[in-house]
Amino acid sequence: MLQILQLLLSGIAQGCIYGLIALGFVLIYKATETVSFAQGELMMLGAFCAFAAMSLVGLPFWGAALLAIAAMAAFGVLLELVVIRPILGQPQFSIVMLTIGIGYVARGLITMIPAIGTDTHSLPVPYKDEIWKLGALVVNVEQAVIVGATAVLCGLLYAMFRYSKLGIAMQAASQNQLAAYYMGIPVKRLNGLVWGLAAAVAAIAGMLLGPITFVHANMGFIGLKAFPAAVVGGFGSLPGAIVGGLVIGIVESFAGFYLPDGFKDTAPYIVVLVMLMVRPNGLFGEKLRKKV
Amino acid sequence: MTTAPGLATLSAAPGAQAQARPTSGGPAAVNADVLLSARELSVRFGGVLAVNKVSFEVRRGEVFTLIGPNGAGKTTVFNLISRIYTPTTGEILWHGGGDAPTALTAHAPHEIAALGIARTFQNIELFEHATVLHNLLIGRHTHRCTGFWREVFFTPGTRRAEIEAREKVERVIELLDLQHHRDAMVAGLPYGVRKVVELARALCTEPKLLLLDEPSSGLNVEETADMAFWIQDIQQELGISVLMVEHDMSLVSKVSDRVLAMNMGEALASGTPREVQSDARVVEAYLGAVDDLSSLRRRPHE
Amino acid sequence: QSQGVTKDEIRIGTIQDLSGPLAGYGKQARNGMQLRVDELNEQGDVNGRKLKLFVEDSGYDPKKAVLAAQKLVNQDKIFIMAGHLGTAQNMAAMPVQFEKNVVNFFPITAAREMYEPLHRLKYSFAATYYDQIRLALPKMIKDKGAKKVCTIYQDDEFGLEVERGAEAGLKTVGMELTEKTSYKRGATDFSSQVAKMKAANCDLVVLGTIIRETIGTVGEARKTGFNPVFLGSSAAYTDLIHKLGGKAMDGIYATHTAQHPYLDEASQPLRFWANKYKTKFNEDPTVFSVYGYSIIDAFIKAAQKAGPNLTTDSFVKAMDTMTFEPDMFGAPKSTYTATKRLGNDQSRLSQIVDGKWKVVSDYVAP
Amino acid sequence: MRFIFKTSYAQDIALARHGGHVFWYGLLGAALIAAPWVLPEYWLAQLTFVLIYGIVGLGLMLLAGFTGQFSIGHAAFLGTGAYTQAVLANAGVPFPLALGAAAALSAAVGVVVGLPALRVKGIYLGIATLAFGFIVEEVFARWERVTGGNSGLHVNSPQLFGLDIGSSENFYVVCLLIAVLCTFAILNLLRSPTGRAFVAIRDSEISAQSMGIHLARYKTMSFAISAALAGLGGALYAHKLSFIAPDQFNIVQSIDLLLMVVIGGLGSVHGAFLGAIFLIAMPQLISLGKDWLPPAIGQAPGLQGLVYGLVLIGFVLFEPLGLYGRWLKVRTYLQLFPFYRRGLFRRQKAFTKSDRLR
Amino acid sequence: MNDGDTVLQLLNVESAYGPIKAIRGVSLKVRQGEIATVLGANGAGKTTILKTISGIIDPRKGSIEFEGRNITAQDPAQIVQQGLCHVPEGREVFPLLSVRDNLLMGAYTRSDRDGVARDIETVYGYFPILRERAAQHAGLLSGGQQQMLAISRAIMAAPRLILLDEPSLGISPKLTREIFEIVVRINRERGTTILLVEQNANMALNAADYGYVLENGRIVMEDSCERLREKEDIKEFYLGLKDEGVRGERRWKKKKTWR
Ligand SMILES: Nc1ncnc2c1ncn2[C@@H]1O[C@H](COP(=O)(O)OP(=O)(O)OP(=O)(O)O)[C@@H](O)[C@H]1O
Ligand SMILES: Nc1ncnc2c1ncn2[C@@H]1O[C@H](COP(=O)(O)OP(=O)(O)OP(=O)(O)O)[C@@H](O)[C@H]1O
Ligand SMILES: CC(C)C[C@H](N)C(=O)O
Ligand SMILES: [Mg+2]
Ligand SMILES: [Mg+2]
């Protein structure tokens, strides 16, 4: 029983990480209808930012965190300005390709930093290696922090898209750019904002993840497991991203324990396939159909 | 005004209950003239009852028009016939294939074209990144006679079939005057031409029944007149029955043999164009009373 | 005349992981090799020939290793492949080399496949993972009174070698593995593997892991309050473990041959060497720099011996009578013959104490 | 600009539009046939890889460029072909038979992978194929008895009628032959009803359906053909590389394949091969360029990825139609030469609409 | 009406899609408070003119002035923010937003909450079906309902100039009439200037004050609508009033029978 609880707990924590990254995907998807393959890399950059601020500059954790978030947000805006904006309006697929390219570049650049890029680093967060004991249950503070941050972030983003004019305008721009222009929605500016926001979210994810998987150039690949999370939840639904992440995390944790080796790595993908068979639009996705 | 010979007699009656014929032995006994009959069709989307117990029949060789205010459920009826939606209740029978009528719900959406029903869309659904010619050739899909491997090796038979398809398509192009646009990408065509291309594509399937959703919307008077001629050609020379949704009453009264007016998903009135147009309820819900537009004008003192 | 040898040049190829999970190792090994190459070129030559080193990156990916090997062999026309890092990568690349009669010289991995089955062009220098664990494990079990032994290993030829060594070692004391669990090359999350071993109540875990996996596994175990004895192979014997993993890594054991050059306690020549390394690459040398350096050093010695007419045949002939004496890095003596292609089979045991590897046993031979 | 008078419908159907086509493609063919005698071994090997990737690219082009179904798991088919070929070749099955089996098995897997395509689209389909890719990769890794697991598998040299055709030159000719045949097959398919049905599905499923196109059948078919070509390519790849391991068929490979067709130019058969040339030549060019750079940059391991990413970004930014699009412009420029107007290819403002409703 | 100051002025504007020139040297003027209309056959370039004005297409040549400011080739969003709103051809609603959110987006450039709330009520008054469907996805409305929504969005924006592209597309006869009444009312009551493109020339010529006739991308005729209504050509080709004239019931082009 305790075993199951412990597995559940670690599944939830891992799931929150997936959810957090998926949140970034969904954010970009909802606001621009593109799928960003660079989200994992942005996260990696965010983690490196925080790492640099703490280890190289020597800032305290909170200072470094804020700095990293701000720096990444600025970077996101800049990225949009330089590479995304020129082809805004081209088929979404082009932008997806761009994000793949951005991913390569980010990984390449980081790897090229002498003596730092190729190595693995640990992020010295203040709560590192701390654990809470609830009876026999061990709760990792690192993981608890992830769960908390994820919940808060999800709530904020949800409120933005649901109630704020800006959030609705972002969705409008993604659904019909032309009409958005006709309505005077500053599509380009919003797009920049979205990328800034997504990069900030990625930075947060990176810092939360840093203590657990370490900071290294390839840490962004974990994003590949966040895709299934986003799909299981229904791409385009923020709460869905979190729930999807949890489902994937928990399934993974149990599969790793009870099933033979190899199932753990494939479990998320099996789950997503089953989900697509049963509910092609995910748990929270709406069934959309073109009216002719 | 042209009317197909032999079809001038119209049994006008709102709804099918009133239309009930002395049937003796099931659907097969229905008037041999009937091509498609819908009975008690209803469909519900969540809280919206888009079509509510609508019955009608389309006869061979006629132009049958659906009119009604926006949101009356006309397009939904089309979508039910082309199996994009499945009716909540009611059935649609197709009498076009051999002797026994079949229920359309027994067919998959892609089989409808092969039965001989082709349609156009209200919002134009063309293959945007292909040329007009290509679009029309796709329209001939139901007539393909080559298999996969024959196409891979492009056997002489395939070549022949291709040339034949091309000849057929070329006739449609000529009928609808599309020669100019033959090799143009659809994406760059003006709205009006696209409407015609869509009609042409539907014709390429060589249908028995053609569903036209607002064929004249976006066309000016002159072009609408052309459209009227085409519809008449299609009806009279090609012998294709037409089921049409249209808001332009001049076109409606020019080409249609019978009209069914709908409102809020229900059948409101049916009969000849003239009868329906003079129906008080239709005028009230759809046509509007005043015909004088001068009230729109700016009065001199303003 | 063999390819890669001209009147005044010998072309040496090497494939390292410069961008993948073992980038830490690859870079150090390359630097070590480069240092010895430069040294030679500055101070002299091998029978009138200078050395030229061709480095390719495999990213610890066998496919890239094959492509790199094809490039080195067919395009750069190397004479010899030296110090290629990684078991799976070597296994993949060797056929390409052998087709063109290029020797696979001292790959940086201790898998048995590096000299078995016997092949004219294979030379290996490191006591195998198999032997390392097979010998160290029974001793550990005895010392620690372990009852249940588990293993976590990388799911490829490297991990399997460790796992097989563990099984063989257990057999000698009449035990069996309680739990086996594996992970994929490049994995970063080991929570379920650790949970499995914890649930099995293991008190000794054999680590078929390398850098991040070692840290990840041990770290995860410590976090969940699971504290068995950890025993790794020479693949995990690196200063990166305690540098990255911090305090949590204290106490783990690993087998190895050469020693990490901690400068504060090193001998004078070693310090001199380390200084040279540091001036050149601006970082402290590690045990993998040592590997790289020694490999080129050994090559130079054998090539000297092969004489001015350097061909693959003459090189093989020279190698087959070579003996390398213990050097300043603490490696034992190693010898080669036409049928003995593993130079040395002795290994020893170290433990991390206060953030440093401390040797805890002497060399043992099988 | 060349103006062609058409005098018969057959002219529209013909593969070569005019004499110039015949001439230039003839020249290309001659050059390719002469290659084994002119090119050094290493470059011939690269050319062989181009052909192999070109075959795979053809398949993916059919799927992504013509049917509009994006697959982010195409490496799975490549792998299926490669492993089938490896296992059969190692068991001594003659080369052509093994090749057929590889293509057939991949096609079968393609049908299975195509199943979700009937229900889901866009990003959902992408993830579904991605998921399949991961699972297939895991199968390669776990089915150790057959595949040798993560340690990989060595592939024997291909045998034809007891002859070893594994030498660089022979194998090149084999690949060339297969590539040419595949290209013709695809071209034929594209100019007949099946190919048109694919395009119809790409542009509008709803109206394709109302034109009588059986969406499920054609999507499945597209997946199957695409997978078969990938399998074929995989089989050749296995021989050419002579060593295969599961992680050669991972997501990165899949993305590379996708990049290949996009950079080549989605929706053109030329694009498949141009993309393949790019994919193979790029790392070569980078490593050639390395020596010119200061060592701190040139020797840095991330350089490859960086340049690759930059080139990709550059392509999307400046040439969204891919290499083939660029080629068309160059050609038009040459044809129009003195009369070329600068604004001719200026990109218009464009606006996206939701892809979710299709 | 000809005395009011000019709100919108196009000077010799030329726009093209790639190599295809869609309008060639169009000059027109819309004066404060008037309704101007552009008539023209299919493909004449009417839509292109409107798109060029609102910045969706950059003109190759010529200049566009709105309220005295040059807006040539500016960013569309920026143009709109200056007080101009475009009801596009083919509805272009936000399919996955609710009807209400669509309306709110119409009012994106406005910051007076009360005014927006009031206008929503006004619009619901014009088109009660929109109130009924306020929470439904706009993409699921029928064609005509979407058209109503598109027009309503422009009303929500409360601009000084509205560009209307075929507002009667797919609208029932009764509603067409109502929509024109609404257009006229907005023009009269709020003083909104309107540039109207419409296939229903009869409606357009009655509602508008000044008209332009466009053929093949060139303006071939312009005059007050009063006078245009009386022109024979207009009657014949745009109003279809010519009974038994050149065309009459017979088609002017003899079709050869086929099949
Ligand atoms: N898929 C759907 N989901 C929800 N409601 C729908 C759907 N399709 C149609 N409706 C609703 O059903 C009603 C009828 O729509 P339909 O498109 O049939 O109208 P129509 O008669 O064609 O109108 P118009 O003349 O404006 O095109 C409308 O109120 C519409 O909102
Ligand atoms: N996206 C495009 N690409 C290429 N050419 C185009 C494009 N859009 C329009 N055109 C061309 O520009 C010309 C003018 O088109 P426009 O849409 O302005 O006509 P219109 O007068 O609005 O016609 P309609 O009454 O059919 O709406 C047409 O000849 C058309 O072929
Ligand atoms: C150098 C070693 C860490 C390489 C590792 N033993 C492997 O075979 O992959
Ligand atoms: Mg409709
Ligand atoms: Mg228009």
| Distance in angstroms (rounded) separating the CA atoms of residues E152 and E141 | 14
C158 lines ligand 3 (CB under 6 A): yes
CA E206 to chain CA centroid, Å, is 15
Q: Is the predicted pLDDT of residue E227 greater than 50, yes or no?
A: yes
Apex CA D22: angle with CA D21 and CA D23, to 5°? 90
The confidence score (pLDDT) of residue C79 equals 94
Distance E31 CA to ligand 5 centre (A): 23
Q: Is the predicted pLDDT of residue B27 greater than 50, yes or no?
A: no
- From the list E175, E184, E237, the residue facing B222 with the nearest CB is E237
- pLDDT, one tens digit per residue, over C133-153 is 999 999 999 999 999 999 999
Contact A26, A241 (CB under 8 A): yes
Contact C212/A118, CB-based, under 8 Å? no
Beta bridge partners of C105: C82, C123
Average pLDDT over chain A, rounded to an integer: 86
Closest atom of ligand 2 to CA, residue E217: 14
Residue of chain C whose alpha carbon sits nearest to that of A8: C192
Ligand nearest C207 Cα, by number?
3
Integer CA distances (angstroms), D237 to B261, C337, D81, E22, E221, in order: 66, 38, 9, 51, 68
Contact C13, C73 (CB under 8 A): yes
| Distance in angstroms (rounded) separating the CA atoms of residues E115 and E92 | 24
Q: Exposed (0-12), middle (13-18) or buried (19+): which is A115, by Cβ within 10 Å?
A: exposed
- pLDDT, one tens digit per residue, over A209-261 is 888 777 888 888 888 888 889 889 888 888 888 999 999 999 988 888 888 87
Distance B265 CA to ligand 1 centre (A): 9
For ligand 2, atom 5: residue with the closest CA: B188
- ipTM of the assembly? 0.86
Beta bridge partners of E9: E29, E65
**Token reading at E29:** 């003027």
| Distance in angstroms (rounded) separating the CA atoms of residues D316 and A97 | 7
Distance C88 CA to ligand 3 centre (A): 8
Q: How confident is the model at residue D9 (pLDDT cuts 50, 70, 90)?
A: confident
**Token reading at B47:** 């809280």
- From the list C19, C71, C88, the residue facing D301 with the nearest CB is C19
- pLDDT, one tens digit per residue, over E84-128 is 999 998 888 999 899 999 999 999 999 888 999 999 999 999 999
E15 lines ligand 2 (CB under 6 A): no
Q: What is the rounded average pLDDT of the residues E45-57?
A: 91
**How close is the nearest chain A Cα to the Cα of E251, in Å?**
33
| Distance in angstroms (rounded) separating the CA atoms of residues A64 and E91 | 49
Distance E124 CA to ligand 4 centre (A): 21
**How close is the nearest chain D Cα to the Cα of C90, in Å?**
11
Residue of chain B whose alpha carbon sits nearest to that of D200: B127
Torsion of CA C272, C275, C281, C282, to 10 degrees: 170
Least confident of A173-177, C223-227, C306-310: C223-227
SS3 sequence of chain D: CCCCCCCCHHHHHCCCCCHHHHHHHHHHHHHHHHHHHHCCHHHHHHHHHHHHHHHHHHHHHHHHHHCCCCCCCCHHHHHHHHHHHHHHHHCCCCHHHHHHHHHHHHHHHHHHHHHHHCCCCHHHHHHHHHHHHHHHHHHHHHCHHHHCHHHCEECCCCEECCEECCCHHHHHHHHHHHHHHHHHHHHHHHCCHHHHHHHHHHHCHHHHHHCCCCHHHHHHHHHHHHHHHHHHHHHHHHHHHCEECHHHHCHHHHHHHHHHHHHHCCCCHHHHHHHHHHHHHHHHHHHHHHCCCCHHHHCCCCHHHHHHHHHHHHHHHHCCCHHHHHHHHHHHHHHCHHHCCHHHHCCCCCCCECCCCC
For ligand 1, atom 25: residue with the closest CA: B70
* Chain C contact probe: residue of D90, D237, D241, D243 with most C CBs at under 10 A: D243
The confidence score (pLDDT) of residue E1 equals 41
Distance B97 CA to ligand 1 centre (A): 30
For ligand 3, atom 7: residue with the closest CA: C86
Contact C184/D149, CB-based, under 8 Å? no
Return the biggest CA–CA distance within chain D: 66
DSSP C241-259: HHHHHGGGGTT-EEEESS-
**Token reading at B154:** 């492009």
- The crossing angle, in degrees rounded to 10, of helices D251-264 and D122-142 is 130
Contact A276/D124, CB-based, under 8 Å? yes
* Chain B contact probe: residue of E210, E236, E255 with most B CBs at under 10 A: E255
Distance E170 CA to ligand 5 centre (A): 14
A163/E249: higher pLDDT: A163
**Token reading at B15:** 């709804």
SS3 sequence of chain B: CCCCCCCCCCCCCCCCCCCCCCCCCCHHHCCCCEEEEEEEEEEEECCEEEEEEEEEEEECCCEEEEECCCCCCHHHHHHHHCCCCCCCEEEEEECCCCCCCEEHHHCCCCHHHHHCEEECCCCCCCCCCCEHHHHHHHHHHHHCCCCHHHHHCCCHHHHHHHHHHHHHHHHHHHHCCCHHHCCCEHHHCCHHHHHHHHHHHHHHCCCCEEEEECCCCCCCHHHHHHHHHHHHHHHHCCCCEEEEECCCHHHHHHHCCEEEEEECCEEEEEECHHHHHHCHHHHHHHHCCCCCCHHHCCCCCC
B189 lines ligand 2 (CB under 6 A): yes
Contact D150/C74, CB-based, under 8 Å? no
Give the B:D interface size as CB pairs under 8 Å: 107
The confidence score (pLDDT) of residue D20 equals 75
Residue of chain D whose alpha carbon sits nearest to that of E56: D349
Q: Is the predicted pLDDT of residue D8 greater than 90, yes or no?
A: no
The confidence score (pLDDT) of residue A263 equals 82
Q: Is the predicted pLDDT of residue E259 greater than 80, yes or no?
A: no
- pLDDT, one tens digit per residue, over D108-157 is 999 988 887 777 877 788 888 999 999 999 899 888 888 888 778 888 88
**Token reading at B92:** 């649609």
Contact D150/C184, CB-based, under 8 Å? yes
Helix (H) or strand (E) holding C39: helix C23-43
The confidence score (pLDDT) of residue E202 equals 86
**Token reading at D237:** 């790849």
Helix (H) or strand (E) holding A40: helix A39-51
Which residues keep their CB under 5 angstroms from ion ligand 5? E 47, 89
Percent of chain B with pLDDT over 70: 88
Q: How confident is the model at residue D344 (pLDDT cuts 50, 70, 90)?
A: low
Q: What is the rounded average pLDDT of the residues B190-199?
A: 90
Q: How confident is the model at residue C362 (pLDDT cuts 50, 70, 90)?
A: confident
Q: How confident is the model at residue B211 (pLDDT cuts 50, 70, 90)?
A: very high
Q: What is the rounded average pLDDT of the residues B86-104?
A: 87
Contact D349/E58, CB-based, under 8 Å? yes
Integer CA distances (angstroms), C6 to C2, C49, C51, C295, D148, in order: 9, 8, 10, 21, 40
Helix (H) or strand (E) holding E63: strand E61-66
Length of chain E: 259
Q: Chain A contacts of D142, Cβ < 8 Å? A: 261-262
- pLDDT, one tens digit per residue, over A16-25 is 888 888 988 8
The confidence score (pLDDT) of residue D342 equals 61
Q: Is the predicted pLDDT of residue D347 greater than 70, yes or no?
A: no
Least confident of B55-64, C64-73, C264-273: C264-273
Contact A15, A248 (CB under 8 A): yes
Distance C28 CA to ligand 3 centre (A): 14
- Residue bearing tokens 């693995």: A120
Apex CA A146: angle with CA A145 and CA A149, to 5°? 85
Of the candidates E33, E69, E35, which has an alpha carbon nearest to the alpha carbon of residue E53? E69
SS3 sequence of B190-211: CHHHHHHHHHHHHHHCCCCEEE
The confidence score (pLDDT) of residue E4 equals 53
The confidence score (pLDDT) of residue B2 equals 38
The confidence score (pLDDT) of residue E241 equals 64
Strand E84-87 with D243-244, pairing: unpaired
Integer CA distances (angstroms), E59 to A123, E11, E71, E162, in order: 54, 11, 11, 20
| Distance in angstroms (rounded) separating the CA atoms of residues E86 and A184 | 10
Q: What is the rounded average pLDDT of the residues B12-27?
A: 37
Q: Chain B contacts of A292, Cβ < 8 Å? A: 75, 79, 84, 121-123, 125
* Chain A contact probe: residue of C22, C28, C163, C189 with most A CBs at under 10 A: C189
E45 lines ligand 2 (CB under 6 A): yes
Of the candidates E142, E167, E148, which has an alpha carbon nearest to the alpha carbon of residue E88? E167
Q: How confident is the model at residue C293 (pLDDT cuts 50, 70, 90)?
A: very high
| Distance in angstroms (rounded) separating the CA atoms of residues A205 and D22 | 57
| Distance in angstroms (rounded) separating the CA atoms of residues C137 and C132 | 8
Integer CA distances (angstroms), D122 to C112, C206, D315, in order: 48, 46, 23
**Token reading at B294:** 């001068």
The confidence score (pLDDT) of residue C60 equals 87
Q: What is the rounded average pLDDT of the residues B156-171?
A: 90
The confidence score (pLDDT) of residue D40 equals 87
**How close is the nearest chain D Cα to the Cα of C269, in Å?**
29
Q: Is the predicted pLDDT of residue C206 greater than 90, yes or no?
A: yes
| Distance in angstroms (rounded) separating the CA atoms of residues B194 and B132 | 9
Q: Is the predicted pLDDT of residue D298 greater than 80, yes or no?
A: no
Chains touching chain A, criterion 3+ CB pairs below 8 Å = B, C, D, E
Contact C195/A119, CB-based, under 8 Å? no
D149/C contact by beta carbon, under 8 A? yes
Backbone angles phi, psi at E3, to 5 degrees: -95, -15
The confidence score (pLDDT) of residue E254 equals 43
Give the three-class secondary structure for A85: helix
From E14, E37, E47, E87, give the residue whose CB has the most ligand 2 atoms within 8 Å, as the site to mutate: E47
C192/C102: higher pLDDT: C102
Q: In this structure, what DSSP letter does residue C338 have?
A: S
The confidence score (pLDDT) of residue B12 equals 35
Cβ contacts of B175 within 8 Å, gap of 6 or more:
B200, B203, B230, B233, E255, E258
